[in-house]
Amino acid sequence: MVPRLVRSSVPSKGSPTQPNSGESGFLARFSASDEQREWFSPSPAGYERGRTKFVVVIGTVMSGLGKGIFSSSLAKLLQDKGLAVAPIKMEGYLNIDSGTLNPFRHGEVFVLADGLETDMDLGTYERILDQDLSRRNFITAGQIYGEILDRERRGDYLGRDVQMIPHVTGSVKLRLRELAMTGGPNGTPADVVFVEVGGTAGDYENGFYIEALRELAFEEGSESTCFVALTYILEPATLGEQKSKAAQLGIKRLMESGVQPHVIACRATNPVGEKVMQKIGMFSNVPMKRIFSMHDRESIYVIPDDMRANGLDREILSILNLHDRVKVTHEDKARRTWNDFSSKLSTPRARRVTLGIMGKYASLRDAYASIDKAVEHCGVHLNATIDLKWLDTSSLDTTGKVAATLKDVDGIIVPGGFGQRGVEGKLRCVEHARTTKLPFLGICLGFQMAVIEYARHVLGLTDANSTEFDPSTSHAVISELPDQKKLEGIVGGTMRLGGQDVLLESESFAARLYGSTTVRERFRHRYEVEPSFIEALQAAGLHFSGRHPHHPIMQVLELCASDHPCFLAAQFHPELTSRPLRPQPLFMGLAAAAIVRKYPDAVRDTTVARWLNSPAAVAAH
């Protein structure tokens, strides 16, 4: 006899649900009685409905307006009050992750510590919250559909027809409740889960997310969920005034989905006028005190302060009935620490330098968003304005062009990337930096470029290359990882990803920068230094100062000669771990060297000297 499918009814607020262990009999685990019901709203074992609150940020009008920036800034204010916050990004595309997405279409790929390749918004959350995230903080439609189809093939749905409602929406709610149970520090429950829905209201691909969130708010009970609509205020140059009609229609579309926003965030170039806010409030049923002008600012890091000044944090606490969980002492300390950083963003700085970003996505800054932010962090801590010059290496086909292009920069970064376009130009830039003592930082592919350039021009292996670019080269100084050579080269499935330990030599420049001989950084690469060339390269003066703890995998290089102010490269992506209050050491070393190159007297500045590769700096510290 085939067992009857029984879907769980919605438990009353505060009541525990059925156990959630194992995959067999997926729906049967959530049975509440022998009566078949239309509810399907699974929860983890011990989950208490209404205990964790949810803030949901949904866009209208158009995408790319900064939902992640708004959500993470608001989450920081609640985190500062002592609440445990857990962000999650929901993407509507069918990709399992962001690893194969073209940066021109979706910005940079941000790699989490556990190796998941995600949307760049996860980087914004990590930086502003100073919190490492994991795969539980990122959902795609492909993940949800894949899990459901796997369950259906195993028979976990007990013969029932599998539908968008309730099964797909139920799976989304389960993911959110699992995060609520474990998203706090050290796997503890979160006080507030911040949910960012990718795209905009009205998109076909995210409609099931919005429906799941509407259901979630109903099931969790009153004061459980705060919906935020982030919209766009047009300001056509020909009219000379702000127009709210598009915003009104976008919010109306959201309301047609059954979602009544509690807060409106108005994205705009200039501060949103009161009359526009009045119109928005009138047509959305949102009071003026809950409408926030999210206009352009000099830095995203001042938005939390502006939200606090507007009282938006207190409004969220009232909507969610969270005032009794606030820790005033914790908030005072956190606010002072953040203000010490954010107040420096608008303070005039003593020095100004320029760093060149030698990439192939120079026309799209989002492709290198984490590098942009890592440099910004350094500028604040070193009291210098650091301008970035975005340069496409595809056109740098002669050494003369390279010299002319780099004559006005004080240091260069050669970032990561895939594919052959622009590679020869990058090699010329590395050679220029090495021979002219221009401060240099190579990242991932930039690390490999430094090895190839050194092999060609110092070892004399003129055809030295990577098997990625020339599989038939007779001197493959860069080749595939040994473990990957056994695999069938599926794009996105053969890389070394996520956090890995790096051992640094104690007297190296890198170790001095980190202040440690063991660090953990995030990787995203498929190729490495071929072990058979390591001894020759080191004998010629290229120092591999950072290595894998157990295998002959080179992870950091620098020049042995101490007369180069900064020639560093890392196989990992140091930009991914830079935080506003904790700038990344390799970037600090590059920035300090660039400052002293332009302002030699800066060597007397103890803050700058701490990060320099010179005997005097070492002796002073």
Residues annotated as catalytic are: 444, 573, 575
| Residue 437: φ, ψ to 5° | 60, 35
State the Cα–Cα distance between residues 365 and 358, nearest whole angstrom: 12
Alpha-carbon distances, residue 230 vs 198, 213, 244, 268, 510 (angstroms): 12, 16, 13, 11, 43
Element spanning 143, H or E: helix 141-154
**How many CA within 13 A on the CB side of residue 435?**
13
User: Comparing C-alpha atoms, which of 422, 399, 371, 270 is closest to residue 587?
Assistant: 371
Q: Which residue has the tokens 């903080």?
A: 137
State the Cα–Cα distance between residues 219 and 228, nearest whole angstrom: 19
- C-beta separation of 118 from 522 below 8 A: no
- C-beta separation of 521 from 500 below 8 A: yes
Q: Tokens standing for 390?
A: 């975005």
3-state secondary structure of 484: helix
Three-state SS sequence of 266-295: EEECCCCCHHHHHHHHHHHCCCHHHEEEEE
Q: Which residue has the tokens 């996505």?
A: 361
Q: Tokens standing for 589?
A: 């070393």
DSSP of 606-619: HHHHTT--SHHHHH
Within 10 angstroms of residue 506's Cβ, the number of other Cβ atoms is 10
Task: Identify whether 166 is preceded by a cis peptide bond (ω within 30 of 0).
Answer: yes
User: Comparing C-alpha atoms, which of 74, 68, 42, 256 is closest to residue 170?
Assistant: 42
State the Cα–Cα distance between residues 538 and 459, nearest whole angstrom: 10
- C-beta separation of 229 from 120 below 8 A: no
DSSP of 15-78: -------SSTTTGGGG--SSS--S------TT--TTTSEEEEEEE-S-S-S-HHHHHHHHHHHH
The β-bridge partners of 480 are 527
Q: Which residues contact 135 (CB under 8 A, 6 or more apart)?
A: 112, 114, 116
Amino acid identity at 80: D
State the Cα–Cα distance between residues 56 and 215, nearest whole angstrom: 13
- C-beta separation of 233 from 242 below 8 A: yes
